Structure 1
Amino acid sequence: MTADPTALEREIEETRERLAGTIDQLLHRASPKTIVGREVWTIKAHYVDVETGAPRTDNILKSVGVVAGVVAAFVLVRKLTS
């Protein structure tokens, strides 16, 4: 089977371009700046409703409760050990 060299060269060039685009996308997704941005957005979305912009008080109160519990535990342990 004989392939047209021009068609083969064109196909190779198209494949190279697709691979270059894929590599660029992977580099962008794996860059530290992009990763940090995604994580910040995820955390914000946990505390603020993305659609309305209203704070999610239930999640905020849960987090405050956890922090208060940890602080209380540290204070209690410190009093018991001193």
Structure 2
Amino acid sequence: MSEIPNRPSDQAALDSRSLTALENDITATRDRLARSIDELTERVRPDNLVASQVARAKQGFYDATHDERGELRTERLAVAGAVVVGLIVLKVVIGRRR
């Protein structure tokens, strides 16, 4: 059977441990919050945002031009090439009309 402290000295010891535990919890929470703020600050730095977008664009281009085995999707590249050639021809034709 456990005893419930009822003497002033026992209560003071419990209060002291509770206060220490509370202070430790506050310190740990403050440290976690500081780390979270540092991580968020790092994520939203313009350099990091640009790097993330560039990496995403490169991956999207790779996914669009390569199949699951990593081989080029020549049919997609042929279509893209035809579109580029078509745009160049259109620009030349429009340029001559001026």
Q: Give the TM-score normalised by the residue count of structure 2.
A: 0.57
Within 2, Cα distance between the matches of 1:26 and 1:70?
A: 37
Cα distance 1:17–1:71, how it changes in 2: closer, same or farther (>3 A)? Answer: closer
The aligned residue for residue 80 of structure 2 is: 63
Unaligned 5+ runs, structure 1:
none
Find the residue that maps to 1:55 and give its secondary structure.
Answer: coil
Deviation at residue 13 of structure 1 after TM alignment:
1.6
Find the residue that maps to 1:54 and give its secondary structure.
Answer: coil
Unaligned 5+ runs, structure 2:
1-17
Deviations 1:30-70 (A, max 9, x none): 1x334323222222221122x21111122212211211211
Aligned partner of 1:10 among 28, 31, 36:
28
Deviation at residue 29 of structure 1 after TM alignment:
4.3
The aligned residue for residue 74 of structure 1 is: 91
Cα distance 1:61–1:8, how it changes in 2: closer, same or farther (>3 A)? Answer: same
Q: Stretches of 4+ moved more than 4 A in 1?
A: none
Cα distance 1:77–1:8, how it changes in 2: closer, same or farther (>3 A)? Answer: closer
The root-mean-square deviation of aligned C-alpha atoms, in Å, is 2.8
Cα distance 1:74–1:8, how it changes in 2: closer, same or farther (>3 A)? Answer: closer
Percent sequence identity is: 14
Q: Give the TM-score normalised by the residue count of structure 1.
A: 0.64
